[in-house]
Amino acid sequence: MEISALKAELERLHTASFGWAMSCCHQNRADAEEVLQIVYLKILQGKAIYRGESKLQTWLFAVIRKTAITERRKQLLRSLNPYFSARLEVSDELESDFERSEMQRHFQEALAQLPARQRETLHLVFYQELSLSEAAAVMNVSVGSARRHYERGKKRLREALNQDGARYGFEWKRNENSGAVL
């Protein structure tokens, strides 16, 4: 695929890509933007090449996920340095200033408590509206594993939300999914 055609496709997927990058970066906007920039840079440099083996979105999301993990590791290393850790604190403060509803804040807190794989699966299924097989391809796991993450993630999210449900005036009725694999 030529770079101009690829650029048009990337532009079409840009919003979804940013949402996925946000999820991979724990809803940190600055990190998500940086990750997305690095992904575009990899594509421009030919380090990430789309060979048409899967859907472009699946491939792009897999690249974003891998880049986010790499950047996260780098950040952990940087956090050992006082200068960089100070910068991280500032960016976190900026993020926390963003106004959002109590319900949404509670939801994101519950999401943050989930293991990464479960959170990723839920995001890909509910936010990006991908099928479980597509989510599995993005996460580079089998469909069975993706299904397990999905079901466990849903269960834990529900439990987390139920704990504080009364505080926010809502209640999650336990409605077991017959197809759940627990």
Partner 1 sequence: MDLSGNEMKIQALYSELRLETQSRVPQFEYVWTRAKVVEETPIRSRRMALVIAASVVAVVCSLAVWAWYTSTASPLPTIAELPPQPTIVESPDPQTPVLQPAKPRRQRDHRRRQPERWNTVAVATLSSWQSPTQLFMESPTDLVLTSLPQLNQSAKDLESFLPKDHELMKESNR
For position 103 contacting partner 1 by CB under 8 A, the verdict is yes
CA distance 143 to 77: 33
Is the C-alpha dihedral spanning 44, 47, 52, 58 positive or negative? negative
For position 123 contacting partner 1 by CB under 8 A, the verdict is yes
- Looking at residue 168, its amino acid is Y
**What is the per-residue DSSP string for 70-90?**
HHHHHHHHHTTSHHHHHHHHH
**Start-to-end Cα distance in the chain:** 42
For position 96 contacting partner 1 by CB under 8 A, the verdict is no
For position 29 contacting partner 1 by CB under 8 A, the verdict is yes
Which residue's CB is nearer to partner 1, number 86 or number 90? 90
Residue 33 CB contacts under 8 Å (≥ 6 apart), including other chains:
18, 21
Residues 149-178 that bind partner 1 (CB under 8 A): 154, 157-158, 172-175, 177
Give the count of residues interacting with partner 1 (CB under 8 A): 39
- Selected from 33, 54, 56, 62, the binder of partner 1 by CB under 8 A is 33
CB of 155 to partner 1, least distance (A): 9
Region of 37-45, 66-74, 84-92, 113-121 interacting with partner 1 (CB under 8 A): 37-45
